[in-house]
Amino acid sequence: QSALTQPASVSGSPGQSITIFCTGTTSDVGVYNYVSWYQQKPGKAPKLMIFGVRNRPSGVSSRFSASKSENTASLTISGLQADDEAHYYCCSYTASNTWVFGGGTKVTVL
């Protein structure tokens, strides 16, 4: 199972919006609405930010939104804040009854 494809880094200024894309295949992202996104800060465990393509768990800011089109999922952070600086990983359930992560995207707030 190959990893999902994410850009290595994305940056933006405070207040701006950024979007991270996550590309999979017809065996994972393209066929299931089970895409999730995780935020990981240095030295910390990952935190669930989005599940089921576009749903936010309780407590996650509405500045985080997500969607999917065919084999590509995306995470948008609006009103970028310094606290959003972290690594972000996409993940999808697959047709092999496994899960696959993207390589991770480092978000830098300029």
Sign of CA dihedral 96, 22, 58, 83: positive
User: Which x/- pattern over 4-33 shows residues binding other proteins (rule: CB under 8 A)?
Assistant: ----------------------------x-
| The CA-based dihedral angle spanning residues 102, 73, 7, 88, taken in that order and rounded to the nearest 10 degrees | -60
Q: Which of 14, 15, 57, 79 lies at the binding interface for other proteins (CB under 8 A)?
A: 57
Q: Is 75 in the site for other proteins (CB under 8 A)?
A: no
Apex 8 CA angle, 6 and 14, nearest 5: 100
Q: How many chain residues touch other proteins (CB under 8 A)? A: 27
Q: Which of 26, 98, 108, 110 lies at the binding interface for other proteins (CB under 8 A)?
A: 98
